[in-house]
Amino acid sequence: MTKFTDLNLNPKVLKAVVEAGYETPTPIQAGAIPPALDGRDVLGIAQTGTGKTASFVLPMITLLARGRARARMPRSLVLCPTRELAAQVAENFDTYTKYLKLTKALLIGGVSFKEQDTLIDKGVDVLIATPGRLLDHFERGKLILSDVKVMVVDEADRMLDMGFIPDIERIFGLTPFTRQTLFFSATMAPEIERITNTFLSNPERIEVARQATASETIEQGVVMFKVSRRDKEASEKRAVLRKLIDGEGDACTNAIIFCNRKTDVDIVAKSLKKYGYDAAPIHGDLDQSQRTRTLDGFRNGELRFLVASDVAARGLDVPSVSHVFNFDVPSHAEDYVHRIGRTGRAGRAGKAMMICAPRDEKNFDAIERLIQREIPRLDNPLGSPEPAPADMEDSAEKPKRARRTRGRKDSPETQAPATPTEVTTEPPVEAQIETPVAEAAAVRDVAPEPAPERRQQDDTRQNRGGANRRGGKGRNDNTPVGMGDHMPGFIAMSFDERRTD
Which residues form the interface with ligand AMP (CB under 6 A)? 22, 25-26, 29, 48-54, 317, 319
Shortest distance in whole angstroms from residue 215 CB to ligand AMP: 14
- Closer by beta carbon to ligand AMP, 16 or else 267: 16
- Closer by beta carbon to ligand AMP, 72 or else 338: 338
Shortest distance in whole angstroms from residue 449 CB to ligand AMP: 52
The DSSP bridge partners found for residue 104 are 126
Shortest distance in whole angstroms from residue 164 CB to ligand AMP: 19
- Closer by beta carbon to ligand AMP, 120 or else 352: 352
With a CB cutoff of 8 Å and minimum separation 6, the contacts of 93 are 57, 61, 104, 126, 128
Residues 448 and 428: their CA atoms lie apart, in Å, by 18
- Closer by beta carbon to ligand AMP, 231 or else 317: 317
Shortest distance in whole angstroms from residue 198 CB to ligand AMP: 26
* DSSP per residue, 390-431: SSHHHHHHHHHHHHHHHH----TTTPPPPPHHHHH---HHHH
Residues 114 and 129: their CA atoms lie apart, in Å, by 15
- Closer by beta carbon to ligand AMP, 26 or else 235: 26
Residues 118 and 121: their CA atoms lie apart, in Å, by 5
Shortest distance in whole angstroms from residue 63 CB to ligand AMP: 19
- Closer by beta carbon to ligand AMP, 29 or else 82: 29
CA 206 to chain centre: 29
Q: What are phi and psi of 230, to 5 degrees?
A: -55, -40
Shortest distance in whole angstroms from residue 265 CB to ligand AMP: 22
- Closer by beta carbon to ligand AMP, 16 or else 54: 54
With a CB cutoff of 8 Å and minimum separation 6, the contacts of 146 are 73, 174, 175, 176
How large is the C-alpha radius of gyration of the chain? 30
Q: What torsion do the CA atoms of 101, 105, 111, 113 make, to the nearest 10 degrees? A: 120
CA 469 to chain centre: 56
Instruction: Say whether 192 sits in a helix, a strand or coil.
Output: helix
- Closer by beta carbon to ligand AMP, 130 or else 260: 130
Contact 370, 212 (CB under 8 A): yes
DSSP conformational letter for 20 = T
Shortest distance in whole angstroms from residue 128 CB to ligand AMP: 14
Contact 240, 257 (CB under 8 A): no
- Closer by beta carbon to ligand AMP, 3 or else 377: 3
Shortest distance in whole angstroms from residue 168 CB to ligand AMP: 20
Q: What are phi and psi of 168, to 5 degrees?
A: -65, -45
Shortest distance in whole angstroms from residue 54 CB to ligand AMP: 5
